[in-house]
Structure 1
Amino acid sequence: MENKKFNFVLIQYSRENVNFADGINAYALEDFGCDGVEEFSLEEARVDEILGERAYSGGDIPESLIDEIQAATIDQDSFTYKYFFYQEDFEVNSSDFVFFIKENYPELPLFTAQKNFEDWNAEWKKFYTPIIVSERLEIIPEWLKESHENSPAQKVYIYPGMGFGTGTHETTYLCLSLFDKISDLLKPASHCLDFGCGSGILGITALKIKSMPTVFCDIDKSALNNCMQNLVLNFEGEMLEGSKLIIRDRYSPVLNDLVFANILENVLILEKKVILSSLNKSGFLIVSGLLNHQVDKIVSEYNSLEKVAVVSKNDWSAILFKRHS
């Protein structure tokens, strides 16, 4: 019996064109049958150094080179996304996606590879370890749940699935860190919106730590499915009254005391009216998905709010805003 395979495509974005990633991710998931997207940071010169004379664009590269690239720990001067294809017609879908990128984004380096499907879990899980946000908050992958039960910190369990927002990326970590700093200021019966929720890790943290009824909103149905999986993981058998999942097209603003928007700069600008209309008086807004140089632009766009804090990690930043009474 032939081993089932899956394909993946690596695309490198520079600082100058990383904003293409949001649109390309949407195309991959919605139009080309992509089954998951993962990001890791990689410096282009370092990739060239690893590949040496073997470097080329658009062809298959050996599995060992993929592993070597991903294992490189370097400063983040480029951002590499890995697009997974494994369901029916995965070879056609990945091939069509590669053709689309070459035709429309010829400046983006891309590489393709194929692996055995039985390697999938190991391939996916090896990138996720417990995330210590603070002394009182930890993010634990589902498969490590039992081994961390005795930790004194409050724990949010996550199954990364194939989406974004697992706590490992800088922007998610920064949002969680800001939430941890303000959680004691949030009043009982406060409400939360996780706008662009992905895996739901931010809203689930608010719901679990502060019992905040939370609306999880995303443009991607697969992200909402992963979010539901993580809600069940953290609240199995519990009634989550007041919380709901909703696709973006059906979301109408309601007032919340805490809003997370961990989305890219262009989406923060595009969705500004909806985000601001969802924030209550004296409410907190935590935004991220921002490169460091994009902070001033977003502060200017959201100048009706008080900028409380800006935190950064490597090339990424998050901003804490507060609405005046």
Structure 2
Amino acid sequence: MQANQQWIIFTFSTNHEAAYAIEQFLQMQGAEGVTVEDKIDFIKTYEEQKTPDVIIGDYLDTLSFDVNIEAYFLYQNNKLQINKNPFSLEEKQEKKWINVSDFEAMINKALINIAEISPVGAGYISNRILENEDWQNNWKKYYRTQKFGRIVVNPSWIQYQAKENEILLDLDPGSAFGTGSHETTALVLNFLSDYSFPDLSQKNILDLGTGSGILAIAAAKIFPNSKIDAIDIDEHAIQVAKENAQKNQTNIKFKTAELKDLENEYDLILANLIATLHLDLIPLYKEKLKPGGMLIASGIINLKEEAVRKSFFKNDLKIISEAKQNDWNAFVCKYL
């Protein structure tokens, strides 16, 4: 890919019924990439693959049912590259360059044809030009050293000298959830840093839905003599977490599992989950917590905060501390 290469991105707003036809038209024309944001598809995927450490469940409530589509084409001198024969079945397509205005006319014609079968909504919205950049390295500028009380999360490419009272976590952003950048993770890290826990030496701690392993690693450094388990239903997340734990020289037992699969009882459970999962897991929290054990529950969006609060109270999970960042809430609970 040339360093000065440009892209043109065409943006559409439509509905679930017409989205597939628009996507197929763009792919047949030779789009280098097409992204589709469809709430209906998100909901289907979420219901089939509900991963505990993902906050998508509550986030879906804020989305409209409009489908947003973006298509990427190579661009230069007010022209874009498309397939010369969009109906060809050849794997390697012959290309041609056409004016942007001519392609917009093709889009409008295609939308008229699609509208004869299904309404298309707003349809074609606009286009914009994107300069090619050094994506392999430029993403790093969006990450920096983050501090959560005594806990410092630092990317490997930044040199950082920890102060005497600081707890340094060497953690690079990856494909598993949890780098400290999301409010729900930050809330738990702040509790781990600053809350006055009872002596947890030789005690059992569980990180439920470990993701990148950030919470388990922080707990291992704050409570170095504790026995820490970390579980996730995503095997890839477990592999990422193991690598992060090794990098931070922490002793954590990782396992691909659900809470119901565990035999141990715990003195502290860290649970950065969506609100509906907290509600579903209350019986298991009570089963897996020792009497007097503590639960840090985060990932609770404002819309569900009161429901979680009432359910915890009814089930002897006493909230003894709480915190809030933007639309997210976290509780420290004690099992009575």
TM-score band w.r.t. shorter chain: 0.5 to 0.7
* Residue in 1 that maps onto 2:144: 129
Residue matched to 1:217:
231
After TM superposition, the structure 1 stretch with the greater mean CA deviation from structure 2, 185-194 or 213-222, is 185-194
**1:176-215 paired onto structure 2 within 5 Å:** 176-211=189-224, 212-215=226-229
Report how far residue 210 of structure 1 moved.
1.0
Unaligned 5+ segments in structure 1 are 30-36, 46-54, 64-105
1:60 alignment counterpart: 71
Distance 2:137 2:241 in 1: 19
Distance 1:164 1:255, change over 3 A: same
Q: What residue is the counterpart of 1:245 in the other structure?
A: 254
Partner of 1:314: 326
Q: CA deviation at 1:127?
A: 3.2
CA shift at 1:20, angstroms? 4.5
Task: Pick one of 158, 171, 174 that aligns with 1:158.
Answer: 171
Unaligned runs of 5+ in 2: 4-31, 75-119
Instruction: Indicate whether 1:276 and 2:286 are aligned.
Output: yes
Number of aligned residue pairs: 244
Return the match for 2:135 from 91, 97, 119. Answer: 119
1:173 and 2:186 matched: yes
C-alpha distance in 2 between matches for 1:291 and 1:257: 26
Q: Is the 8 A contact 1:253 1:274 kept in 2?
A: no
Q: Which has the larger radius of gyration?
A: 2
Residue by residue over 1:73-121, the C-alpha shift from the partner in whole angstroms, topping out at 9 and shown as x without a partner, is xxxxxxxxxxxxxxxxxxxxxxxxxxxxxxxxx99xxx9x999896245
Q: Does structure 1 conserve the Cα–Cα contact (< 8 Å) formed by 2:274 and 2:299?
A: yes
Aligned equivalent of 1:301, options 283, 301, 311:
311
Give the direction of change, closer, same or farther, for the CA distance of 1:11–1:24 in structure 2 (3 Å limit): farther
2:51 counterpart of 1:23: no
1:244-274: CA deviation from partner (whole Å, max 9, x where unpaired): 1111258324211110110101221222222
Alignment of 1:52-131 (within 5 A): 57-60=68-71, 119-123=135-139, 125-131=140-146
What is the SS of the residue equivalent to 2:69?
Answer: coil
- Measured after TM superposition, the shift of residue 149 of structure 1 is 2.2
Q: Secondary structure at the match of 2:255?
A: strand
| AA matched with 1:213 | K
Normalising by structure 2, we get a TM-score of 0.61
Q: Which structure features the higher share of helix residues?
A: 1
Structure 1 runs of 4+ aligned residues shifted over 3 Å read 6-13, 19-22, 24-27, 113-118
Cα-Cα RMSD: 4.1
Instruction: Give the Å deviation of 1:24.
Output: 6.8
> Structure 1 residue 159: deviation in Å?
2.2
TM-score (norm 1): 0.63
Once residues 25 and 166 of structure 1 are traced to their aligned partners in structure 2, the CA distance between those partners, rounded to angstroms, is: 25
Contact 1:133–1:176 (CA<8 Å) still a contact in 2?
Answer: yes
